[in-house]
Amino acid sequence: MAKEKVKDPSELSVEEKLKNLYTLQTLLSEIDKIKTLRGELPLEVQDLEDEIEGLSTRIEKMSAEIEELKADISARNGAIEVNKANIERYKEQIDSVRNSREYDNLTKQIEYAELDNQLHEKKIGEARTVMNARMEEMTACSTLANERRADLEVKKNELDEIISETKAEEEKLREKAKNVELTIEPRLLTAFKRIRKNSRNGLGIVYVERDACGGCFNKIPPQRQLDIRMRKKIIVCEYCGRIMIDPELAGVNLNPKTEEKPKRKRPSRKKTEEAAEG
């Protein structure tokens, strides 16, 4: 048995093109509903991951800064010890000076070493203050990061649970949508996707309902409604730009039959008069 030749999408009639577009819209709307079930969870998970990453980077920077401060304190302590040793040596040399010039020179060296030590002590004090502040900040960031990791774990579990429940259904819908897309000419498909992307409710094609556009609800002139029912060309809403389709072609019944209420039997004039006389 020979395979049925697949029809070129560009060779389809306007009616077939509209039908295929509406079928695609129905499938994509079902996928959108599944995404809605997930709510803000994907965004919340992403925000928590970004926040944790930011806190981790901040902790790393503070840790590196603390290490630099420790190295600076250590170097200054080393310089202080050298100065102390030099001060002791200069004091010993003062006892054996031969003239006032040597005495003045050694005294200045001692004063310089002592002033240098005072400066080092001041810088060490400042470094320790900064280091303690960074350590407190780092502890706070670590605590916050651990809290956010716990929140992330909960959110991820919730999201994974929802995804696992809807994954199979979503994959089936996506596969069907992919197959329907093959029946739509690329130019029309691109236009449809652009319209859908710019629409707040994700509708790229809508049917006429109560003489109005089913997307933006603006009234459609009678002549334009007639053109839509004729199905001779692709027509878009002049207000929102959505593609329009005849409800009948979309398979939508806008006038469902309602059960007629039993009519209330009115009493005859004769019976009414008899009742009045009685």
List the pLDDT tens digit at each of the 278 positions of the chain.
444 556 788 788 899 999 999 999 999 999 988 888 777 888 899 999 999 999 999 999 999 999 999 999 999 999 999 999 999 999 989 888 888 898 999 999 999 999 999 999 999 999 999 999 999 999 999 999 999 999 999 999 988 888 887 888 888 999 999 999 999 999 999 999 999 988 888 899 999 998 999 999 999 999 999 999 999 999 999 999 999 999 888 888 766 554 455 555 555 555 555 555 54
* DSSP secondary structure, 19-77, as one string: HHHHHHHHHHHHHHHHHHHHTTHHHHHHHHHHHHHHHHHHHHHHHHHHHHHHHHHHHHH
Q: Which domain holds residue 109?
A: 40-179
- Same domain for 153 and 196, yes or no, is no
* Together in a domain, 19 and 93: no
Q: Are residues 22 and 72 in the same domain?
A: no
- In this structure, the answer to whether residues 235 and 121 fall within a common structural domain is no
| Residue 271 included in any domain | no
